[in-house]
Amino acid sequence: MTSSEVSGGPAGVAPAGGLRGVGVLVTGAANGIGAATAALLASEGALVYPTDIDEEQGRRTAAEFGAADRFRVLDVRDEQSWDAAVDQMAADGAPLTVLVNSAGAAMKAPLAETSLESFRRMIDLNLVGTFLGVRSAARHMVPGGAVVNISSLRGVLATAELGAYGAAKFGVRALSRVAAIELAHKGIRVNSVCPGSIETGITDLPDFAADDVEAYVRSIPLQRRGSPGEVAEAILFLVDRRSSYVNGVDLLVDGGTAAGVHTSKKKKNAESGK
């Protein structure tokens, strides 16, 4: 199976195992969605290069799916780190063919209480980091490859107190679409995934401590948070030949939250005493 087969072509449906031997770089792979994605793509036979800023946890996680030797420290905000990682993949004979930009972090604050420093920190990590990854793909990715950028439901629906994070995540979708258009002539597809509320450590911050999680869950049509594995499955679809004609989309993985207004029966019953 060659790397150019990853994105497939007009020939049709790909057999399973289309990622075998393909060079995949995943950022933010020490935890959460990045970790689940790296493990899933590795289980499909891809040569996954898990990367993260957290070396200790990154190596531990990578060892779980047999990729400890390929783990690299990559701070997504640092140009040199990107060049070094991509060069290493080429030298190993596993040139960059799939890129999943999952590194990110959130913060919660009303705009009036958001410092310039924290706003810039959000943009740097979530948007500049994704830009540097997309630019590496534009320069070095093997024709026929695929990029998936992780945006967010908060990059689709403006959300109070998530101004800095939301601005970055709206930006990630814009960047993805521009790249989808610019790189299409190389057969490189670029899509974004917009998760809703997923059970990871991203909200383990004092900013989010007061959130009423139960009320939030009631607002999700599927009445539960998603798992990192469910997002990873959506990412697998977007990098696999099965999505060979899907380019420039924002795939919501949010249990239906963005579909429209939802009134929870459970809540209504509780209110009416039923």
Ligand X SMILES: NC(=O)c1ccc[n+]([C@@H]2O[C@H](COP(=O)([O-])OP(=O)(O)OC[C@H]3O[C@@H](n4cnc5c(N)ncnc54)[C@H](O)[C@@H]3O)[C@@H](O)[C@H]2O)c1
Summarize as ranges the residues that interact with ligand X (CB under 6 A).
Answer: 27-28, 30-34, 52-54, 74-77, 102-106, 125, 129, 150, 152, 195, 197-198, 200-202
Measured from the CB atom, the residue of 215 and 270 that comes closer to ligand X is 215
Query: What is the distance between the alpha carbons of residues 74 and 54, in angstroms, rounded to a whole number?
Result: 9
DSSP 244-273: TT--S-EEEESTTGGGS----HHHHHHHHT
Name the β-bridge partners of 162.
109
20 in Cβ contact with 44 (< 8 Å):
yes
| Helical packing angle, 129-140 and 79-91, nearest 10° | 40
Token look-up 């960047």 returns 175
Helix (H, G, I), strand (E, B) or coil at 149: strand
Q: Among candidates 268, 270, 240, which has minimal Cα distance to 8?
A: 240
Active site residue 165: yes
Tell me how many degrees the CA angle 194-195-200 measures, rounded to the nearest 5.
145
Give which of 175, 209, 171, 213 is closest to 196, Cα–Cα: 213
In what helix (H) or strand (E) does residue 87 lie, and over which residues does it extend? Answer: helix 79-91
Question: Residue 269 Cβ, how far from ligand X at the closest point, in Å?
Answer: 27
Residues noted as catalytic: 165
